[in-house]
Amino acid sequence: MQKENWRKRWLSSINELTSIGLQRISWLDKENTNPHWSFVEFMCCYFDGLAINDNYKYQLERNWVTETEYQIILDWHSRLDKYEAPNKDACDVVKILNDENWLRIVEIGEKVKERLVNQLPENEKEILTEMIDYTKYETVKNENESNN
């Protein structure tokens, strides 16, 4: 993956993980069947999709993330990495959205986002601060709907 594409995905993922409003409306929307709009996918996109399970080692070595950016997000990243959903049920989004531990991580993430945005060029600031309209992304239709 190239640096520019990785950074776009990285900033978008941070934006999603630090927006409790987006999480509430997208995770609880029973009409939206796009699997991306779920707690599990938000976490997978951030850790697995961005390949940062090694605590940003690869990205730091290649200058995909600056040392300053890394220092800004390190505490939030660590908390996010250690988070466990209530009853270890990552599919129970109602409990996650009401979990004080989750709400604290999101709150810290919002502050991290504010600090991070000051380090970014204008085009990247837009990605990090964009108000995401999850409804504009195509949902997965079940077979019966697509055959009618």
SS3 letters for the chain?
CCHHHHHHHHHHHHHHHCCHHHHHHHHCCCCCCCCCCCHHHHHHHHHHHCCCCCCCHHHHHCCCCCHHHHHHHHHHHHHHHHCCCHHHCCCCHHHHHCCHHHHHHHHHHHHHHHHHHCCCCHHHHHHHHCCCCHHHCCCCCCHHHHHC
High-pLDDT (> 70) share of the chain, %: 92
First to last CA, the chain: 39
Position with higher pLDDT, 75 vs 136: 75
Other CB atoms closer than 10 Å to residue 15's CB: what's the count?
Answer: 18
Output the pTM of the full model: 0.89
Q: pLDDT value at position 139? A: 59
Instruction: Show the tokens assigned to 40.
Output: 């599990």
- Quick check: 6 and 59 in contact, CB under 8 A? yes
For the chain, the maximum distance between any two Cα atoms, rounded to a whole number of angstroms, is: 53
Mean pLDDT of the chain: 91
Q: pLDDT value at position 1? A: 63
Q: pLDDT value at position 148? A: 39
Q: pLDDT value at position 113? A: 97
- Per residue in 83-94, pLDDT tens? 999 999 999 999
Q: pLDDT value at position 124? A: 97
